[in-house]
Chains A and B, each alone.
Chain A
């Protein structure tokens, strides 16, 4: 099961308010686990639907403040330094980063802001009178919907997905990676790794620890400028 989503949900429920509410949300969530497991086995979209139902009744303000806290305390603290470097390197090379995820927008928005990413696609709750209804607004970001969203986003900007690079770590993102001209498997799960090897997709491994000899990647001599200047002479 997608532990990222489960972790985010548990964090939300254990910080949601008074003890009584916490226990009540936790019990409701735990009772949903078998359904979630079955749902994920059948369809990733179903998992999102079942999982996010557990958020029913939580206020919008609370969700967004918890989202910010989760982002700050968990996500940012666990970002791979090399991943951030690569986002920056891509940006420097003129490749705009876009975040496409099945996580809820109240978590993704602060993360995107932290990474300086303007465009992102995430699952969005439907709210009624300031409280989550437990339903998600369409399109639900899972499986093929990610690829559809990317195609639409690219065509609106006159871009071709064949020129885009896509990074994902789960076999659930196969449709998304298939849609990209340059799919890359990042710390892939077993099934995605098998597919990557089979389809000859590049595989990247991010590690927590920096390896020896890893200095700042981009804050040094302007190499590209030097190359450009000397191109005429060669």
Chain B
């Protein structure tokens, strides 16, 4: 990651800190005097002593946010990449669709005003200035659950909400057949379906929030506004097995497929993509200690940690969940670009990697990760075991470029209580998937063959997706496929701190009461000299493994 000295001279002080000072200290090897480490553990945090020699990878410190985000947005709209400025593309008779990323990003939800609100206000003002009236705002949920009125109000802001809700501001409905159009097939025979409203618009404006490099690009429109009939071409076990990793779009079959679809969509649609990147400032104020290196903890940090742990332990499940999900992160916008999707996304990726990437030498035998209370699919909901699997094996395993952090055949230790808890209104098909399908097989190919279509077309699940707030019936399968590269790569998964061992067993994992026990189980198999790496969260980090 090191840059030539001449380049370093051009960087601002905060960026310089990133390039030179900070990243040298981001990989810490523990010794006997090292402090305990914070490890996310569902709705709590563990504070555990890790074995001497454990390598801890810390995320880079947050990049400085843009001083004036609104000004930066205005500049991006006026100086887009490889396209005319937004105003120059408008005429009063045109039909415009604005697609907006849903609340699954960023995580945790950000403080108001949300980036999408800032973007929308300026885009809508530009449209109004040029007399464009036929404007629809579509939340690009794809097969995610419909967002509630309050959630939509939160991300689009009062102004857009009052003006457009509910007739011209709504969730995308992937099962409303009248509102879908097939645009054609890619050279790989992938069917490309899209929201009819978007397909028949003169201009589609996509408002994206990029948390990790997996997001954005062609994936925004080709996935966000697409139904099952399109998604099944890349959200399947074979494609995901061929993705190394999801965070490295150049080596991800998932991204190659969605790029093919995106290119086909671009042939028939005029898309003005607006992408934003946020820094890693997930926790601030009283909780900023969560992002610190524990060796630098002072007494005040220890006191706050104890107070936080005590509070979390003594709250009821419901209250604790509510408090955590209500927390709003002080994310700062570090970049905004507009224009042609590919050109914009290249700039976004460069910024996002600048924020997340940490050079790491060599793989480990044992990788420890802590799964927090939230992932993109349980905002204001419950982190069920399938989602724990998806976060651990799907997201955290994939936080790498070049090579996985854990060697092939190594062991992954996932810290989470792993309770048999599901949200019956948000995740109804997950329940059946977990208790029925996984009881028969954990093999993703077999699950896809035996059950996927049944769930995808199940009328009850479709109803709950369309009219309730449920994820689509097929969604748990995608979550399971998401963990497929990790399942193919690691030899063993141990759930540390697991409260219900049968839940771990159902997913093919071993269970350990404590992290110490999990490490002992792993080292008993791999030897006492096995190398251990702990991927420190929060916030997020991407390891460039040499």
B122 contacts the other chain (Cβ, under 8 Å)?
Answer: no
A212 contacts the other chain (Cβ, under 8 Å)?
Answer: yes
Say yes or no: A205 contacts B468, CB within 8 Å.
Answer: yes
Say yes or no: B167 contacts A89, CB within 8 Å.
Answer: no
Say yes or no: B457 contacts A93, CB within 8 Å.
Answer: yes
A227 contacts the other chain (Cβ, under 8 Å)?
Answer: yes
CB 8 Å contact bits of B419-432 with A (1 = contact, 0 = none): 01010110010011
Question: Which residues in B have their C-beta under 8 angstroms from that of A185?
Answer: 424
Say yes or no: A223 contacts B229, CB within 8 Å.
Answer: yes
CA distance A214 to B173 in the complex (A): 9
Shortest beta-carbon distance, B35 to chain A, in Å? 40
B178 contacts the other chain (Cβ, under 8 Å)?
Answer: yes
CA distance A26 to B433 in the complex (A): 51
**Interface hits, A183-224 → B, CB 8 Å:** 184-185, 196-197, 200-205, 207, 211-217, 220-221, 223-224
Shortest beta-carbon distance, A196 to chain B, in Å? 6
> Which single member of A85, A90, A215, A226 contacts B178 (CB below 8 Å)?
A215
B466 contacts the other chain (Cβ, under 8 Å)?
Answer: yes
Question: Which residues in A have their C-beta under 8 angstroms from that of B453?
Answer: 227
Q: A86-B459, A93-B457, A93-B459 are in contact. Are A220 and B177 (CB under 8 A)?
A: yes
Closest to A210 in B: B467
CB 8 Å contact bits of B112-130 with A (1 = contact, 0 = none): 0000000000000000000
Say yes or no: B178 contacts A202, CB within 8 Å.
Answer: no
B377 contacts the other chain (Cβ, under 8 Å)?
Answer: no
A24 contacts the other chain (Cβ, under 8 Å)?
Answer: no
Say yes or no: B233 contacts A200, CB within 8 Å.
Answer: no
Q: A200-B424, A213-B173 are in contact. Are A92 and B229 (CB under 8 A)?
A: no
Question: Which residues in B have their C-beta under 8 angstroms from that of A89?
Answer: 459, 462-463
Say yes or no: A212 contacts B170, CB within 8 Å.
Answer: yes
CA distance A223 to B175 in the complex (A): 9
B171 contacts the other chain (Cβ, under 8 Å)?
Answer: yes
**Interface size class, chain A:** 35 or more
B31 contacts the other chain (Cβ, under 8 Å)?
Answer: no
**Interface hits, B428-446 → A, CB 8 Å:** 428, 431-432, 435
B222 contacts the other chain (Cβ, under 8 Å)?
Answer: no
Q: A93-B457, A213-B173, A234-B232 are in contact. Are A204 and B463 (CB under 8 A)?
A: yes
Shortest beta-carbon distance, A105 to chain B, in Å? 27
Count of residues in B whose CB is under 8 Å from the partner chain: 38
Say yes or no: A165 contacts B177, CB within 8 Å.
Answer: no
CB 8 Å contact bits of B457-476 with A (1 = contact, 0 = none): 11110111011101000000
CA distance A89 to B463 in the complex (A): 9
Say yes or no: B459 contacts A204, CB within 8 Å.
Answer: no
Q: A202-B424, A204-B460, A213-B171 are in contact. Are A221 and B233 (CB under 8 A)?
A: no
Tell me what chain B mostly uses at the interface: helix, strand, loop, or mixed: mixed
CB 8 Å contact bits of A170-190 with B (1 = contact, 0 = none): 000000000000101100000
Question: Which residues in A have their C-beta under 8 angstroms from that of B435?
Answer: 200
> Which single member of B189, B424, B467 contacts A211 (CB below 8 Å)?
B467
Shortest beta-carbon distance, B437 to chain A, in Å? 13
Say yes or no: A95 contacts B459, CB within 8 Å.
Answer: yes
Say yes or no: B464 contacts A90, CB within 8 Å.
Answer: no
B402 contacts the other chain (Cβ, under 8 Å)?
Answer: no
B303 contacts the other chain (Cβ, under 8 Å)?
Answer: no
CA distance A72 to B222 in the complex (A): 47
> Which single member of B166, B189, B425, B459 contacts A233 (CB below 8 Å)?
B189
Question: Which residues in B have their C-beta under 8 angstroms from that of A131?
Answer: none
Question: Which residues in A have their C-beta under 8 angstroms from that of B458?
Answer: 93
CA distance A93 to B425 in the complex (A): 22
Question: Which residues in A have their C-beta under 8 angstroms from that of B182?
Answer: 226
Question: Which residues in A have their C-beta under 8 angstroms from that of B178?
Answer: 215-216, 220-221
Question: Which residues in B have their C-beta under 8 angstroms from that of A207?
Answer: 467
**Interface hits, B189-235 → A, CB 8 Å:** 189-191, 229, 232-233
CA distance A227 to B189 in the complex (A): 13
A82 contacts the other chain (Cβ, under 8 Å)?
Answer: yes
Say yes or no: A197 contacts B424, CB within 8 Å.
Answer: yes
CA distance A224 to B462 in the complex (A): 13
Say yes or no: B424 contacts A201, CB within 8 Å.
Answer: yes
CA distance A207 to B464 in the complex (A): 12
B176 contacts the other chain (Cβ, under 8 Å)?
Answer: yes
Question: Which residues in A have their C-beta under 8 angstroms from that of B176?
Answer: 213-215
CA distance A215 to B180 in the complex (A): 12
B84 contacts the other chain (Cβ, under 8 Å)?
Answer: no
6 A-B pairs whose Cβ atoms sit less than 8 Å apart in the complex = A92-B459, A93-B459, A202-B428, A214-B176, A226-B182, A230-B229
